[in-house]
């Protein structure tokens, strides 16, 4: 029996378990006839109820910390020396509430066990009247009172946790609405800037359209001038040739008195030089075209 009680006593304080185990062992040593069977039930029940007060107190301490955060946090956006309120706080509070609900269910079960054990003690005392069982009913009544105290503390903690969760949710909603409002204001400002940029771009497009129309008119004018100049090129060439010494008009006094064109014997030099200069010019254009494009490429423009 002492070994079983020692295993049960691992969940409570060592000194409390040591005293209860010693009491049970003393009762066992006194003999089988003097052994009180209700003492073991009372011991197991006391061990089960042992550390509930400290456990509930720890949960209440966590709820108190969350209460400070909820009551003294700034409703506006997070400041440097303010409490940090986040969704994880609501999650933590929900976990605490779940623990409190489990404790409440356990306390309810223990209260029912204490009630039945108390009734059983009263039944044994009324039927046997043995002095060794005297006082067990009062002990179970004390345990029931402790359970009631713990249950009230748990119920109060659950109520506080619900109110704290509501307050934290309102703080987060307000901050979220504030962020949305500022975001909306910033988006509206950006939209105004985009409208102004679009208006300026529209003005520039209209100016470019006017410039394009003017350039198109200028190109038509240049095309007409180029056509006229091209029409006069053959006449200019013929006039140049006839005004030079390469082609001359020689009048011979003949019977018919006709004028004749005389081409100079060096006319081939003109043709040769013209062809060579044209070839050299076209060759230079072809050779310098690629370096000139590379020089004017966008990558070289700062």
Domain ranges of the chain: 2-188
Give the pLDDT confidence score for residue 286 in this predicted structure.
85
Residue range 256-302, pLDDT digits in tens: 556 666 777 777 888 888 889 888 988 888 888 878 777 766 555 44
Residue range 144-179, pLDDT digits in tens: 888 888 888 888 888 888 888 888 888 888 888 877
Residue ranges in the chain whose pLDDT is less than 50: 1-21, 23-25, 27-33, 131-133, 252-255, 301-302
* Average of per-residue pLDDT values in the chain: 75
Contacts for 32 with CB less than 8 Å, ≥ 6 apart: none
Quick one: angle between helices 37-49 and 14-29, nearest 10?
Answer: 180
Among candidates 139, 129, 116, which has minimal Cα distance to 23? 139
To 10 degrees, the CA torsion angle through 240, 246, 250, 256? -80
Buried b (16+ CB within 10 A) or exposed e, 207-243: eeeeeeeeeeeeeeeeeeeeeeeeeeeeeeeeeeeee
Q: How far is CA 130 from CA 95, 115, 118, in A?
A: 48, 21, 16
Report the SS3 class of residue 22. Answer: helix
257's torsion region: left (phi>0), alpha (psi -120 to 50) or beta? Answer: left
């Amino acid at each position: 029996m002492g070994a079983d009680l020692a295993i049960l006593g691992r969940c409570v304080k060592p000194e409390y378990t040591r005293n209860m185990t010693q009491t049970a062992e003393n009762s066992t040593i006194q003999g089988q006839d003097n052994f009180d069977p209700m003492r073991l039930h009372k011991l197991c029940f006391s061990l089960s109820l042992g550390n509930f007060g400290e456990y509930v107190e720890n949960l209440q301490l966590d709820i108190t910390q969350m209460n400070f955060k909820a009551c003294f946090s700034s409703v506006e956006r997070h400041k440097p020396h303010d409490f940090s309120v986040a969704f994880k706080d609501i999650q933590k509070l929900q976990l605490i509430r779940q623990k409190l609900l489990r404790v409440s269910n356990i306390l309810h079960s223990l209260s029912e066990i204490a009630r039945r054990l108390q009734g059983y003690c009263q039944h044994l005392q009324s039927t046997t009247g043995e002095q060794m069982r005297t006082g067990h009913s009062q002990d179970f009544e004390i345990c029931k009172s402790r359970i009631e105290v713990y249950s009230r503390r748990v119920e109060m903690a659950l109520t506080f946790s619900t109110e704290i969760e509501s307050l934290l949710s309102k703080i987060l909603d307000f901050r979220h609405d504030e962020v949305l409002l500022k975001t909306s204001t910033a988006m509206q400002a950006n939209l105004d800037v985009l409208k102004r940029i679009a208006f300026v771009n529209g003005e520039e497009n209209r100016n470019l359209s006017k410039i394009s129309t003017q350039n198109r008119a200028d190109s038509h004018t240049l095309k007409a001038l180029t056509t006229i100049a091209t029409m006069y090129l053959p006449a200019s060439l013929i006039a140049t040739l006839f005004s030079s010494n390469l082609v001359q008009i020689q009048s011979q006094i003949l019977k018919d008195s006709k004028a004749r064109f005389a081409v100079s014997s060096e006319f081939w030099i003109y043709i040769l030089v013209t062809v060579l200069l044209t070839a050299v010019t076209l060759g230079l254009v072809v050779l310098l075209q690629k370096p000139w494009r590379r020089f004017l490429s966008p990558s070289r423009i700062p």
